[in-house]
Structure 1
Amino acid sequence: MLLAPSSVFAADLFAADSTVVPTAAMQLPLAANGAFYAALIAIGTLVFLIFVAVMGFFLLRYGKLWVQAYMSVADVSLPSLIRMHFTKVNPNVIVQAKVMSAQAGLDIGRKAGISTRRLEAHYLAGGNVMNIIHAIIAAARAEIPLDFDQAAAIDLAGRDVLDAVQTSVYPKVIDCPDPSRSGKTTLSAITKNGIELRVRARVTVRTNLEQLIGGATEDTVIARVGEAIISSIGSAETHFKVLENPDMITRVVLDRGLDAQTAFEIVSIDIADIDVGENIGARLQSDQAEADTRVAQAEAESRRAEAVAQEQQMRAMVASNKAHLVLAEAEVPKAMAEAFRAGRISAPNGSAI
C-alpha cells in the first residue's frame, strides 16, 4: 500500500530525530492506515477460513473416493469430484467405474479412452454406467471388439449390453415355436403326399454386436425359422424322407441366411422332435368327395324339379287341349242345325230335310 505524504513525512521525522513527539495532526493518518490494514487482514482471514471450511467439507465427503482413485491410478481428480457434486452425478459410480476400468487394463485416457467426462455424460444421459463397464471388460476378456461409444449407444438404445456380450460368449438356445409367445409347442407342416408332420426345433444363436442397434429381435428369428421349416417340409415328396433325414430341413434352413438384418447370428438349428399327425391329404380328398357328392345331389334335385315342373306344364297343356276339343265338339251340332235350316244338307233320296 502507498502511504499518504503526511505519513511519509512523519516517518522521516521519526527516523531523523527520535526525540520528536508526533503531534495530533500526524497521528490521524497513522490511525487510519492501521484500521485499513486491520480490515484487510480480517477480510483475508475470513476468506481463508471460508475456503478452508469448504475444502474441509469436500475433503471429508470425497476424500476417501479421491484416495481410492489415486491409489488405483484411476485418474479422478478432486475438482472432478467437486464438479460431480454440483452436476448431480453420483461420484461413487464414476469412481468405481474408473477403478474397474483401470484395474482391467482398459484405456482410461482423457482423449480417446474411458474418461471421467465421458462417464459423467453417459450417467447424465440416463445410461447404466456400471453395466457398460462390465460389458466392456467381459468383451475384452473374450476378445470381442467393443468400444465405449458402441457400448454406450447400445445401452442408451434400451438394449442390455451386458446380456448381449454374455450371449456372444455363451450362445443362447431359442425354442421354435416358443410356447411363451405363441402358445404352441410344435410346428405343423404337410408333405406332398398329404401327411402332417409336427416339428419342434431348437435354434442356437449368439448376439451380433454390430447389428444390435436396429437389428430384428428374437421374434423375427423364430418367425423366419418356422417359415423355412414349413416350406422345406412342404417341398418333400413323402413324409418318409423327412423322417429318415431330419437334417435335410436344417441344411435348407441354414442355407437361406435367416439371420440377415437381425441382432443375432444363427449358430445351428436342431430338430428336437418330429411327430406324424393326421393324413391331411386323405381328409381333404374325403371332404372334396363329399362336397362333390353334395353338388351332384343338388344338381340332380334341380333337374328333378325341372322335370316335375315340365310334367305339370304338359298336363296343363293336355287339359287345355281337351277343353278346346270339347268346345269344338260343341260347335258341331250347331253347325249341323244351321246347315239343315239353310238346306245345305239333304236326305239320301235327294229330298231336302
Structure 2
Amino acid sequence: MDSNSTALFGVLFTSFILIILIALFLRFVPIGLWITAHFSGVNVPVGTLIGMRLRRVSPHKIIQPLIKATKAGLNLDIDELEAHFLAGGDINTVIDALIAAQRANIDLEFEQAAAIDLAGRNVFEAVQVSVNPKVIQTPLIAGVAMDGIEVQAIAKVTVRANIGRLVGGAGEETIIARVGEGIVTTVGSSELHKTVLENPDLISQTILNKGLDSGTAFEILSIDIADVDVGRNIGAKLQAEQAEADKKIAQAKAEERRSLAIAQEQEMRAEVEKMRAKVVEAQSQVPLAMAEALRNGKMGVMDYYQLKNIEADTNMRQSLGDEDKKDRDA
C-alpha cells in the first residue's frame, strides 16, 4: 500500500469518526430545539438539555410549553416544569390553564395549578368552568308530599368552578346528591302537592338557602326546576296495601276459628260414638239381666209382657212423631 492510499484511508476513517461523534452530539444535544428556544426568548443552557437527556426527560416536552408560556408573558422556571413532568403531571395542560387564567384575570399560581393537576383534576377545564359556568342536570327525583301524592322533578344547577377548593373539594356527584336531597325534603315538608306544582321556585329557594356548595369544588350560581310532574298516589297505595294486609289477617283468624270448630266437632262426635257404644253395650246386657231376673224370680212373666207392650208403644209413638215431622218439613 503506497503513501497516497494510506492518506486516503486515514481521511475516510477520520470522517467516519467525526460523523459518529456529530450524530451522538446531536442525539444528546437538540441543537434545533435550542435554536428555536433562543430565538423565542427562552435562554436554555446546552448543559441543561444534556442533563434532561441523561435524566430520560424529553426536552421537547419541557421546552415547547416553556416557549408557549414565555410568549404569553409568564415567567416560569424550567426546573419547576421538569419536576412537575417527573412527578407525572401534564405540563401542557398546566401551561394552558395558567394562560387562560391570566387572560381572565384569575389569580392562579404555577404551584396551585400543578397541585390541581397532580390531584387528578383537569385544571384547564376548571379554569374554563370558572370563566364560563356549566349546567349540571339532575336525574328524575321523586318526593312525597304530606297528602301522599308523589311529585317528580328535574333540576338544572348552574355552577362555577372554585379554584381554591379544587384540591380536596367534592365533585359533581355530591352536588347532584345534595340537590336531590333538597328536592325530597322540600316536597316532603309540603302539606299539599299542589303547593309544589304551583310554586316550583319554592324548591329552588329552599335548596339555595342550605348552602349545598359547601366543601365542594364548585360555587352554585342558580338552581332552576326544569320539569315538575305528579307521580303516583303513594298514600292510597299504602292504604290499599294495609287493607289487603288486614284482610289476610282476618282470613287467617277466621281459618283458625274454623279449624278449631272442626276439631271441637270431631271431639264431640267421638264422645257421641263413645256414648253410643256404651248404650249398645248396656242394651246387650238387658236380655241377660232379664233372663237372670226371671230365673231368680225377681221378675214375672206378666212383668215381661208389660215391658214389651211399653216398648212397642214407645216405638209406635216415635214413628208417628217422625212422620209428623216429615209432613211439616214438606
Task: Specify the alignment match of 1:203 in structure 2.
Answer: 157
TM-superposed CA distance for 1:82, in Å, is 3.4
1:88-122 superposed Cα distances (whole Å, 9 cap, x missing partner):
3333343332333333333x2xxxxx201111122
1: CA distance, partners of 2:258 / 2:211: 61
TM-superposed CA distance for 1:176, in Å, is 0.4
Q: Could you say which structure has the greater relative contact order, defined with CA pairs below 8 angstroms and 6 or more residues apart?
A: 2
Task: Specify the alignment match of 2:232 in structure 1.
Answer: 278
Residue 213 of structure 2 aligns to a residue whose secondary structure is coil
1:108-143 superposed Cα distances (whole Å, 9 cap, x missing partner):
2xxxxx201111122223321111011012122223
Matched residues, percent identical?
51
The answer to whether the Cα contact below 8 Å between 2:28 and 2:50 also exists between their aligned partners in 1 is no
2: CA distance, partners of 1:312 / 1:199: 63
The answer to whether the Cα contact below 8 Å between 1:69 and 1:99 also exists between their aligned partners in 2 is yes
Task: Specify the alignment match of 2:105 in structure 1.
Answer: 143
After the TM superposition, which of the residue ranges 296-305 and 230-239 deviates more from structure 2? 296-305
Task: Specify the alignment match of 2:126 in structure 1.
Answer: 164
Residue 139 of structure 1 aligns to a residue whose secondary structure is helix
The answer to whether the Cα contact below 8 Å between 1:168 and 1:206 also exists between their aligned partners in 2 is yes
Once the two structures are superposed, the pairs formed by residues 120-135 of structure 1 within 5 Å of their partners are: 120-135=82-97
2: CA distance, partners of 1:63 / 1:207: 42
1: CA distance, partners of 2:37 / 2:121: 30
2: CA distance, partners of 1:316 / 1:303: 20
2:113 alignment partner AA: A
The answer to whether the Cα contact below 8 Å between 2:29 and 2:46 also exists between their aligned partners in 1 is no
Residue 226 of structure 2 aligns to a residue whose secondary structure is strand
Residue 95 of structure 1 pairs with residue 49 of structure 2? no
Task: Specify the alignment match of 1:245 in structure 2.
Answer: 199
Once the two structures are superposed, the pairs formed by residues 183-202 of structure 1 within 5 Å of their partners are: 186-202=140-156
The answer to whether the Cα contact below 8 Å between 1:58 and 1:82 also exists between their aligned partners in 2 is no
Task: Specify the alignment match of 2:261 in structure 1.
Answer: 307
2: CA distance, partners of 1:211 / 1:326: 102
Task: Specify the alignment match of 1:30 in structure 2.
Answer: none
Gaps of 5+ in 2: 1-13, 303-330
Gaps of 5+ in 1: 1-45, 109-113, 178-185, 349-353
Q: TM-score, normalised by structure 2?
A: 0.75
Residue 309 of structure 1 aligns to a residue whose secondary structure is helix
TM-superposed CA distance for 1:323, in Å, is 2.0
Task: Specify the alignment match of 2:115 in structure 1.
Answer: 153
Once the two structures are superposed, the pairs formed by residues 221-300 of structure 1 within 5 Å of their partners are: 221-300=175-254
Q: 1:71 to 1:347 in 2, by over 3 A?
A: closer
After the TM superposition, which of the residue ranges 73-82 and 133-142 deviates more from structure 2? 73-82
Residue 84 of structure 1 pairs with residue 38 of structure 2? no
After the TM superposition, which of the residue ranges 187-196 and 294-303 deviates more from structure 2? 294-303
Q: Which has the higher helix share?
A: 2
1:288 alignment partner AA: Q
Residue 116 of structure 1 pairs with residue 78 of structure 2? yes
Task: Specify the alignment match of 1:322 in structure 2.
Answer: 276
1: CA distance, partners of 2:223 / 2:158: 6
Q: TM-score, normalised by structure 1?
A: 0.70
1:27-83 superposed Cα distances (whole Å, 9 cap, x missing partner):
xxxxxxxxxxxxxxxxxxx9xxx8xx8699569964554454444443433332333
The answer to whether the Cα contact below 8 Å between 1:190 and 1:280 also exists between their aligned partners in 2 is yes
1:104 alignment partner AA: A
Residue 272 of structure 1 aligns to a residue whose secondary structure is strand
